[in-house]
Amino acid sequence: MVAPPQPPTVSETITTNSTPENNVTITDKIYTRVRLAEKADLYHIYQLFYQIHAYHSNTHLYKATESSLADLLFKENPLPLYYGPSVLVLEVSPTPFTEPKNITDEGFKPVLTTFDLKFPVVEGQVDEFRSKYDDGNDKRDVFIAGYAFFYANYSCFYDKPGFYFESLYFRESYRKLGMGRLLFGTVASIAANNGFVSVEGIVAVWNKKSYDFYIDMGVEIFDEFRYGKLHGENLQKESYRKLGMGKLLFGTVSNIAANNGFVSVDGIVAVWNKKSYDFYIDNGVEIFDEFRYGKLHGENLQKYADKE
């Protein structure tokens, strides 16, 4: 659960990269549609993934291309729905959406919502972020505002998979409107309605607004766990087979990752278990003290299930 970006306090109209002659100003109401991303969204997903790296000052780490994202998100022989990497996009429009005429994926019905605006919102990148999605209604005043990225994960504590919620992001014009609750809630509803047992992720301690957001959404924060990551040069080391079965087994997993093009081995490390904590440190795992493990599960997850 990468922290959703928080903009400055809104006291007037917000504009992103404005080109005045092309701006679209939305007043009174803004209409939204959450849908499952398709290949036509690839350019916008690439741009939004870059923007979240820019927000966190990590553009030097952004290695993706549109081609590599296509291979990741839109495989020719995909896993069952929601088990592979999945992206929900949130579209906005100054005019109402209608039910799509061309529904290619019966596994997810787009979620249509209306928000009352307290201030005007200006779309300043009309051409760059105009949606390319064809719903059969020839609607041109639709723009990509943000996304949620998640995929199935597994735990030995459960007999069913959950979701790992990787990131949530909105372009600056569309923050502080309540859309984060809509998008995260939609992911939670998908999980609850399809037999997944949890929505898990990493929560940044330093971002209080984001931290409080997830608490308000029912996420349980585990302060006794930290985010651990074996990556970069440490992942490429070949020194795992020296001593100890734990080192052997963890090292084997690491070798599999390094030898097959995976970029990291991530997980949760218990602070209270010093031997385990030191073991992972000794094996090259980087511990991020500023992140906590968050989990939406149990009764809190079921609150998002469709009511019969």
Catalytic annotation, residues: 214
Contact 38, 134 (CB under 8 A): no
Count CA within 13 A, CB hemisphere, residue 155: 13
CB 45, CB 27: distance < 8 Å: no
Cα separation, 210 vs 140, in Å, equals 33
In which element (H, E) is residue 70 found? helix 66-73
For residues 261 and 306, give the distance between their C-alpha atoms in angstroms, rounded to a whole number. 39
Q: Are strands 14-15 and 121-123 parallel, antiparallel or unpaired?
A: parallel
d(CA 206, CA 185): 23
- Contact in structure between 221 and 214 (CB atoms under 8 Å): yes
Dihedral of the CA atoms 10, 118, 189, 68 (nearest 10)? Answer: -50
CA distance 24 to 167: 27
Which tokens go with 249? 């087994």
Q: 190, 173 in Cβ contact below 8 A?
A: no
